[in-house]
Amino acid sequence: MKGIFKTALATLDRTVRAARSDLDALRDRITDLQSKRHNVEFTPNDRATMEREIDKEIAAALDRRPLHFPALVRGEFMLYRGSLSADLKHALVEDPFGVLAAFDAGRLKAGILATLPSDGISPEARSAQLAKIDADILSTEIAEEVACRELERGLGASVSRREDANPAILLAPDKELGMEPADA
C-alpha cells in the first residue's frame, strides 16, 4: 500500500513540475513578445517618412516668415543703421530653424537627413507588425491563464499571476477562455 502512495505522489510531482515548466515557458514567451513589441515600436521611421516630416517642418517654418525686417519694410532703413543686423539677430533667436530654412531649405534638409538612420520601417509596416505581436501576446496570455486555472484546479491551491497580467483575461469567465466550466 505504501508503494502505491509513493508512486502516486511521484506521478503527481512529475505532473506538477511539467505544468509549472509549461507555465514558465508561456511566461518567457510573453516576455519575449513584449520585448519584440518594444523594439518594433521604437524602430526608426523609414527614410521616406522622415523626408516627408522634414518637408512639412520646413514648409511650416517658411510659412511663419522667419526673416522679417520691419525697419526696411517701413522705409526707416536709413534712419536706423544696423537695423538689419538687429532684425536678423532677433530672427535667429526666435526661430533659428526658420532662418536656416529661409536661407537654404535644400541644404538644411540634406543636413538633417545626413544625421538620421538610413534603415527603418514605414508607419504601415509598424502598425501591421504591432497588430500581429499584440495578437500573439493576447493568445499567449490566454494560454497562460488557462494553464494557471487548470493547475489551480488540479492542485486545489492558488497559482500566482504575473504582475503585468491583462486584467480582462484574469477576470474572464472560463467559457470565454475556451475552458470547460469548473463544475462540469
pLDDT for res 126: 97
What integer pLDDT is reported at residue 182 of this predicted model?
65
Local structure of 119: helix, strand or coil: coil
Question: Do residues 62 and 102 lie in contact, with contact meaning Cβ atoms separated by under 8 Å?
Answer: yes
Residue 154 contacts by C-beta under 8 Å, 6 or more apart in sequence? 15, 16, 19
How far apart are alpha carbons 55 and 49 in whole angstroms?
10
- Phi, psi of 121, rounded to the nearest 5 degrees: -130, 155
Cβ contacts of residue 27 below 8 Å, gap of 6+?
144, 162
Query: What is the reported pLDDT for 175?
Result: 92
**Digitized pLDDT (tens) for each residue of the chain, 184 residues in all:** 677 877 877 777 787 788 889 999 999 999 999 999 999 999 999 999 999 999 999 999 999 998 877 766 676 655 556 777 888 888 899 999 999 999 999 999 999 999 999 889 999 999 999 999 999 999 999 999 999 999 898 888 899 999 999 999 999 999 999 988 766 5
* pLDDT value of position 105: 96
CA–CA separation, 154 vs 150, rounded Å?
A: 6
